[in-house]
Structure formats: structure tokens, C-alpha cells
Amino acid sequence: MFLGFCILKGIHTMIHAPAKPKLLVISGPSGSGKSTMLQKLFSEFPDKFGFSVSHQSRAPRAGEVDGVHYHFCTREKIEKMIENEEFLESAAYTNHLCGTSKAAVEKVWSENKICVLDIDTEGVRQLKSKAGLDPLFVFIKPPSLQILEKRLRDRKTDSEENIRRRLKVAESELEYASDESNFNLVIVNDDLEKAYTQLRDFIYEKYKNILSSKNKSS
């Protein structure tokens, strides 16, 4: 009788256990189009996704808002946060530090939303070493380095030095993405609408129950 009660109690606990928070990780070189694709995803599902706002040690660029695009702070503060293990992942980029804090991710989860991270492959490596997160990893890939270079130059926002630096980083990221085990999906963005449809359909299949349900946080 007691054994039967314990089994029923265990089943009841499993049924009523809270759903595991979801984490969607998007990676890809600067100029691959990932930001545009994420904007389309957020526009289509405005109440289902939340963006994790990263910490950044560089100064804001024109149009960037503290707490919206990044949490802008000093290098010393980020170094202290790294020391205190407050980040899920962090990396040095050029002369700056950036990272995804645990608090930023938990804030999105507290709103019952899928948390989206836009991070580089170094961040992907770090997340893969952490247990219990179970992220969905997607890499957005340009058709070629030549096309990526053209996109970067057409933006007219980077110096020649920065373009060369971004291309060098892109080579490393593309090499990492060439190992199929590192990502759940690699999308070649040679046509934005086609690439977005591929991203959208893949995510919808993985998170169908969440994306097709009525939002409970509103």
C-alpha cells in the first residue's frame, strides 16, 4: 500500500513539475544577417521570446541605449563579475570584454519566455561545458567570406582595420561551425526570406507547444 502511494506521488510530481526554461543560442559572424533574422522572429512571436541583454565594457555607439542593447559598464566591473562567476559565458573582443550574466537570462525566464542569446563561438564553447541548460544552438553562415566582406563594406560602419579583424574572426567561427556536432542547425543565409523560413520552421518544430499556445505572461 505504501509503495503504491509513493509511485502515485512520484507520477503526480512529474506531471506537475514546472517546464524546463528554454534557451535559444544564435551564433554567426558579424554581417551574416543573424540580427535581422532575430528581429523578424521577435516580430512574428512578440510575446514568446526575450533577448538576454549582455554586459559590454566598450562605450555605447550612436543609437545604442544602456539596458536595451547592452548593459554598458567598466572593464573592471566585468572582470569582477567574471571572478564572482556571475556569467554563463564571457569573452574578450578586440579591447573589450562582454558577457551573458545569469541574472539577465533568469529575468527572461521569469517572464515565461524563451531566452535568446546572440553570442560568438567562444561563448558557444563555454555554454556547451555547462550542465543543465540544454540550449538549442543555431549558426547563421554567409554564403562565402567574399560575400561577407562585401556586406561589411556596404554597411559603411567599420574602419578597414575593423573589417579585417571581423573577417579573421569569421574564418575561425566558420571553421568551428564546420563540425556538425557543434550546432543543431547551420543555415546558409544566401537569401534572407528563405533563411528566415528555415530558422522559423526549425524553432517552431522544437518549441511547438510554447509557440502555438496562448501567452501566459501577458
- Asked if 95 and 87 count as a contact pair (C-beta separation under 8 A), the reply is no
Would you say 140 and 116 are in contact if contact means Cβ atoms under 8 Å apart? Answer: no
Which of 58, 155, 165, 200 is catalytic? The answer is 155
Identified catalytic residue from 58, 125, 166, 200: 166
Q: Can you state the angle between helices 160-177 and 121-128, rounded to 10 degrees?
A: 40
Which of the residues 58, 61, 153, 200 is marked catalytic?
A: 61
Q: Does the annotation count 75 as an active-site position?
A: no
Largest CA distance in the chain: 76
Beta bridge partners of 136: 24
| Dist CA 197 CA 38 (whole Å) | 12
Of 21, 32, 23, give the one whose Cα is nearest residue 196: 32
Q: Is 61 a catalytic residue?
A: yes
CA distance readout (Å), 61 to 12, 58, 151, 209: 52, 9, 20, 38
- Any idea which residues carry the catalytic annotation? 61, 155, 166
